[in-house]
């Protein structure tokens, strides 16, 4: 069976009409699952306009209790236990974002991970710190470097808008990458330390949730394939890839992560059958489509095992982007069908 997979992205362009695409899913390798490093690793990249963005990703700092479950089932239960803490942790994250201006914190329950990010664009607007709190020495160091970077970012904005800069101004812009990395490292490492404290305060609640779910799994209340049949037509919160928030009723999924994330639905295509779904876009850039069993969905269509249709009016399969129909966005409802026969699926969006 094949699940519907839907990718969400905020503010990211797709890289570069026949309304039907055929995808051969008969013999596809299983992709590696999305995993987070144990130790936080800082990554800095540039967007299409040359603005820098830093991302610090790592496994959620919560020790998983020993268990009689197998490794795969223990991993599933741990992620489900983390999801029970999603609401209070997101409140904790919001507090960190207020205390460390410019930092965004995202919890990825589906991969048991944490994403911390900061964008160079944010420095175009002065970030306000919490009122009534005297700046520490670390605050002053950050503000000093931030001021330099903000001045350079203003030059970068003028350059992006078409203004010709003089030689010294251009040299400043060329060297801003190292300055941004310094600011990003200061802020994200500081946020990381704050989150370690917050996760520590949630350790007991996580363990209790894990033990409760472990008991249900061991005694057939929550084991795979047991109990009630899987729900149909709602988002599968347990299989989301990346930081995705799914509503309690499963009908809404959203993400503010600075990268593509995936949110699969409980919908399947059996051999010889046609299946369909429709999605209403609330906001942001969305890519929707179909994927083979076990195919990665965080970047739908970027492997040969999936097909995606994006809001920029392009289709993608096996990483090949082509013009496809019309663009769509907030307020639009998109219908998608797939017909499966002998491992080959015809997709219509």
pLDDT at 6 over 70: no
Distances (CA, A) of 325 to 53, 314, 317, 322: 32, 7, 15, 10
What's the pLDDT score for residue 1? 37
What's the pLDDT score for residue 5? 42
Better pLDDT: 24 or 110: 110
Calculated CA dihedral for residues 223, 229, 234, 238, nearest 10 degrees? 10
Report the DSSP pairing between strands 285-291 and 320-323: unpaired
- Give me the chain's average pLDDT, please: 76
Out of 48-52, 165-169, 213-217, 231-235, give the one with best mean pLDDT.
213-217
Q: What residues contact 131, with CB distance under 8 A and at least 6 apart?
A: none
Task: Please state which of the ranges 51-65, 184-198, 229-243 shows the lowest mean pLDDT.
Answer: 229-243
Confidence band for 240, pLDDT divided at 50, 70 and 90: confident
Better pLDDT: 332 or 33: 332
Residue 331 φ/ψ region, left for φ over 0, alpha for ψ in the -120 to 50 degree band, beta for the rest: left
- Write the burial class of residue 126 (CB in 10 Å: 0-12 exposed, 13-18 middle, 19+ buried): exposed
Q: Is the dihedral of CA 295, 296, 300, 301 positive or negative?
A: negative
Q: Is the dihedral of CA 130, 133, 136, 141 positive or negative?
A: positive
Q: Measured between alpha carbons, how far is 122 from 264 in angstroms, rounded to an integer?
A: 31
Confidence band for 15, pLDDT divided at 50, 70 and 90: very low
Residue 190 φ/ψ region, left for φ over 0, alpha for ψ in the -120 to 50 degree band, beta for the rest: alpha
Q: Measured between alpha carbons, how far is 296 from 34 in angstroms, rounded to an integer?
A: 8
Helices 176-201, 137-160: crossing angle, 10 deg rounding: 130
Q: Please give the share of the chain, as a percent, with pLDDT higher than 70.
A: 74
Q: Measured between alpha carbons, how far is 114 from 59 in angstroms, rounded to an integer?
A: 6
Q: Please give the share of the chain, as a percent, with pLDDT higher than 90.
A: 13
What's the pLDDT score for residue 259? 75
Q: Give yes or no for a contact between 308 and 288, defined as CB atoms under 8 angstroms apart.
A: yes
| Nearest residue to 319 via CA among 342, 345, 343, 295 | 295
Q: Measured between alpha carbons, how far is 92 from 194 in angstroms, rounded to an integer?
A: 10
HSE of 246 in the Cβ direction (CA atoms, 13 Å)? 26
Confidence band for 344, pLDDT divided at 50, 70 and 90: very low
Distances (CA, A) of 136 to 108, 147, 275: 31, 16, 59
What's the pLDDT score for residue 82? 94
What's the pLDDT score for residue 34? 47
CATH assignment of 3-33+241-348? 2.60.120
Q: Give yes or no for a contact between 273 and 339, defined as CB atoms under 8 angstroms apart.
A: yes
Mean pLDDT of 136-165: 76
Confidence band for 26, pLDDT divided at 50, 70 and 90: very low
Q: Give yes or no for a contact between 52 and 45, defined as CB atoms under 8 angstroms apart.
A: yes
Query: Length of the chain in residues, anyone?
Result: 349
Which letter does DSSP use for residue 336 in this model?
Answer: E
Confidence band for 39, pLDDT divided at 50, 70 and 90: low
For residue 346, give the 3-state DSSP assignment: strand
pLDDT at 129 over 80: no
Confidence band for 85, pLDDT divided at 50, 70 and 90: very high
């Amino acid at each position: 069976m094949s699940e519907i997979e839907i990718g969400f992205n905020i503010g990211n362009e797709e890289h570069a009409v026949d309304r039907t695409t055929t995808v051969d899913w008969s013999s596809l390798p299983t992709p590696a699952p999305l995993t987070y490093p144990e130790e936080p690793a800082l990554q800095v990249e540039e967007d299409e306009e040359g603005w820098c963005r830093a991302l610090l990703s790592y496994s959620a700092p919560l020790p998983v209790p020993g268990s009689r479950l197998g490794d795969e089932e223990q991993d599933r239960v741990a992620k489900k236990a983390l999801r029970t803490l999603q609401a209070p942790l997101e409140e904790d994250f919001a507090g960190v974002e207020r205390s460390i201006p410019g930092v965004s914190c995202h919890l990825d329950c589906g991969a048991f991970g944490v994403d911390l990010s900061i964008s160079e664009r944010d420095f175009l607007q002065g970030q306000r710190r919490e009122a009534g709190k005297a700046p520490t020495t670390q605050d002053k160091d950050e503000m000093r470097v931030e001021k330099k970077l903000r001045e350079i970012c203003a030059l970068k904005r003028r350059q992006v808008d078409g203004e010709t800069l003089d030689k010294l101004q251009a040299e400043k812009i060329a060297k801003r990458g190292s300055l941004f990395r310094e600011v990003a490292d200061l802020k994200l490492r500081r946020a990381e330390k704050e989150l370690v404290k917050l996760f520590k305060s949630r350790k007991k609640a996580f363990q209790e949730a894990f033990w409760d779910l472990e008991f249900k799994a061991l005694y057939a209340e929550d084991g795979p394939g047991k109990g009630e049949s899987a729900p149909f037509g709602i988002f599968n919160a347990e299989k989301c890839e990346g930081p995705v928030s799914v509503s309690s009723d499963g009908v809404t999924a959203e993400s503010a992560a600075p990268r593509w994330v995936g949110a699969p639905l409980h919908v399947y295509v059996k051999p010889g059958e046609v299946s369909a779904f429709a999605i209403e876009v609330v906001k942001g850039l969305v890519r929707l489509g179909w994927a083979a069993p076990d195919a990665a969905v965080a970047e739908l269509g970027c492997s040969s095992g999936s097909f995606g249709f994006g809001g920029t009016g392009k289709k993608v399969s096996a990483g090949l982007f082509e013009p496809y129909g019309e663009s769509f966005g907030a307020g639009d409802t998109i219908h998608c069908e797939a017909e499966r026969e002998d491992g080959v699926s015809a997709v219509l969006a």
